[in-house]
Protein backbone atom coordinates (compact mmCIF):
# COMPACT_ATOMS: atom_id res chain seq x y z
CA UNK A 1 0.00 0.00 0.00
CA UNK A 2 1.25 3.45 -0.88
CA UNK A 3 0.16 6.76 0.60
CA UNK A 4 0.14 10.21 -0.98
CA UNK A 5 0.35 13.64 0.60
CA UNK A 6 -0.32 16.89 -1.24
CA UNK A 7 2.01 19.83 -0.61
CA UNK A 8 -0.02 23.04 -0.73
CA UNK A 9 1.15 26.61 -1.16
CA UNK A 10 1.03 28.87 1.90
CA UNK A 11 0.92 31.88 -0.45
CA UNK A 12 -2.09 33.42 -2.15
CA UNK A 13 -0.11 34.54 -5.20
CA UNK A 14 3.45 33.47 -5.96
CA UNK A 15 5.72 32.54 -8.84
CA UNK A 16 7.08 29.01 -8.74
CA UNK A 17 10.72 29.41 -9.70
CA UNK A 18 11.97 25.98 -8.71
CA UNK A 19 10.89 23.02 -6.61
CA UNK A 20 13.97 21.06 -5.56
CA UNK A 21 12.89 17.78 -4.03
CA UNK A 22 16.14 15.85 -4.63
CA UNK A 23 16.93 15.50 -0.90
CA UNK A 24 13.41 14.28 -0.21
CA UNK A 25 13.96 11.32 -2.54
CA UNK A 26 16.79 10.15 -0.24
CA UNK A 27 14.39 9.96 2.71
CA UNK A 28 13.57 6.36 3.72
CA UNK A 29 10.02 5.47 2.75
CA UNK A 30 9.63 8.16 0.08
CA UNK A 31 8.81 6.48 -3.22
CA UNK A 32 8.25 9.45 -5.54
CA UNK A 33 7.63 13.18 -5.70
CA UNK A 34 5.65 14.84 -8.50
CA UNK A 35 5.35 18.47 -9.57
CA UNK A 36 3.48 20.01 -12.50
CA UNK A 37 6.62 19.58 -14.62
CA UNK A 38 6.57 15.82 -13.96
CA UNK A 39 2.91 15.55 -14.98
CA UNK A 40 3.10 17.73 -18.11
CA UNK A 41 1.33 15.99 -20.99
CA UNK A 42 0.27 13.06 -18.78
CA UNK A 43 -2.56 14.49 -16.66
CA UNK A 44 -5.23 16.93 -17.79
CA UNK A 45 -6.88 19.69 -15.78
CA UNK A 46 -9.28 19.00 -12.92
CA UNK A 47 -12.98 19.42 -13.78
CA UNK A 48 -14.53 22.34 -11.93
CA UNK A 49 -17.97 21.55 -10.50
CA UNK A 50 -20.91 23.77 -9.59
CA UNK A 51 -20.77 26.12 -12.54
CA UNK A 52 -23.66 28.12 -13.87
CA UNK A 53 -24.97 26.61 -17.13
CA UNK A 54 -23.34 28.32 -20.10
CA UNK A 55 -20.54 29.83 -18.00
CA UNK A 56 -16.94 29.69 -19.20
CA UNK A 57 -15.25 26.68 -17.58
CA UNK A 58 -11.99 27.63 -15.84
CA UNK A 59 -8.96 25.40 -16.27
CA UNK A 60 -7.55 24.14 -12.97
CA UNK A 61 -4.35 22.11 -13.29
CA UNK A 62 -3.83 19.19 -10.91
CA UNK A 63 -0.68 20.89 -9.55
CA UNK A 64 0.17 24.59 -9.87
CA UNK A 65 2.13 25.40 -13.03
CA UNK A 66 4.49 28.37 -12.79
CA UNK A 67 2.18 30.54 -10.69
CA UNK A 68 0.26 29.84 -7.50
CA UNK A 69 -3.15 31.50 -7.75
CA UNK A 70 -4.52 30.89 -4.24
CA UNK A 71 -3.36 29.82 -0.79
CA UNK A 72 -3.75 26.08 -0.47
CA UNK A 73 -3.26 25.39 -4.18
CA UNK A 74 -1.52 22.01 -4.65
CA UNK A 75 2.10 22.35 -5.82
CA UNK A 76 3.49 18.82 -5.33
CA UNK A 77 2.49 15.26 -4.50
CA UNK A 78 4.66 13.02 -2.32
CA UNK A 79 4.19 9.24 -2.46
CA UNK A 80 5.41 7.23 0.56
CA UNK A 81 5.37 3.68 1.85
CA UNK A 82 3.63 4.73 5.05
CA UNK A 83 1.20 7.48 5.97
CA UNK A 84 3.92 9.33 7.86
CA UNK A 85 6.71 9.00 5.31
pLDDT, tens only, 68-85: 999 999 999 999 999 876
13 lies in a domain? yes
How far separated are the first and last CA of the chain, in Å rounded?
Answer: 12
Residue 85 falls inside a structural domain? no
Report pTM.
0.83
Is 20 within the bounds of a domain?
yes
Cα distance between residue 16 and residue 21, in whole Å = 13
Which domain does 67 fall in, by range? 3-42+60-80
Kindly report the CATH number assigned to the domain that includes residue 23: 3.90.1170.50
Q: Count structural domains, the chain.
A: 1
By the 8 A CB rule, do 80 and 7 touch?
no
Structural domain contains residue 71: yes
Within a domain: residue 34?
A: yes
Domain presence at residue 48: no
Q: Would the pLDDT of 56 be above 90? A: no
Amino acid sequence: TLHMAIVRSPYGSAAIRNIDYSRLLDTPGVVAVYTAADLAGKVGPVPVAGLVPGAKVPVQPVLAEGLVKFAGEPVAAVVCETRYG
